[in-house]
Amino acid sequence: MTTPHAEQATNVLPHEPEKATLEGRNKVLGFWLFLGGEAVLFGTLFATFLTLRNQVADGPSASELFSLPITAAATFILLISSLTSVFAVQALHRGNRSSLAKWLGITVLLGLAFLVLEIYEFSEYMHEGYSMTTSAFSSAFYTLVGFHGAHVLFGILWISVIIGQLYKKGLTVVTAPKVYVSAMYWHFIDVVWVFIFTVVYLLGKVVG
């Protein structure tokens, strides 16, 4: 007969549960390869933007257009969300499902706040008549920043689904890799935004 102590021991997750099974390790490795492809894709968009950044036609230049307080606030929010995803992974390694779900939920809320600011920024530009077809610069800008925003939205939906799976299926060696790779993805889009904020906004204000 199984004692309560023995039953509890069987529910304890192994160290680094995301890599405890071959399937989990393959998911992590495969996701690193996926992120490599994403890095190449964003690198292409950055190169296109830098090539077209001075092709403003009759539209405003970057220094005239951008509002740094809004983007700085969005950057701060996204960096904080990266920290909360770190706390989520720490909760994962402790096997604490409730804490894990809490930190993932906070990450989702911060991601939504970032998107709200980005949509507000775009709406302000549109209100001023600065659309995607205004110039080559505007096309490159909206493509790069909008593509990143789409990645943030995907990350929000993905993490939200994982939270639901944690409550439905529990924290196991099957759900743990999903949490881990979603955190990897979130860190990736945070790093990409740091480059966007530096190359697009800060550089645009200085030399735009």
pLDDT tens series, the chain, 208 aa = 334 433 333 347 787 888 878 888 898 899 999 999 999 999 999 999 999 988 887 777 777 788 889 999 999 999 999 999 999 999 999 999 999 999 999 999 999 999 999 999 999 988 888 888 888 999 999 999 999 999 999 999 999 999 999 999 999 999 999 999 999 999 999 999 999 999 999 988 777 5
For residue 56, the 8-state DSSP code is -
Q: H/E/C letters for each residue in 70-138?
A: HHHHHHHHHHHHHHHHHHHHHHHHHCCHHHHHHHHHHHHHHHHHHHHHHHHHHHHHHHCCCCCCCCHHH
Decide: helix, strand or coil at residue 190: helix
Nearest of 188, 194, 143 to residue 32 by alpha carbon: 188
Q: Tokens in use for 156?
A: 């929000």
- Alpha-carbon torsion angle 151, 155, 157, 158, nearest 10: 130
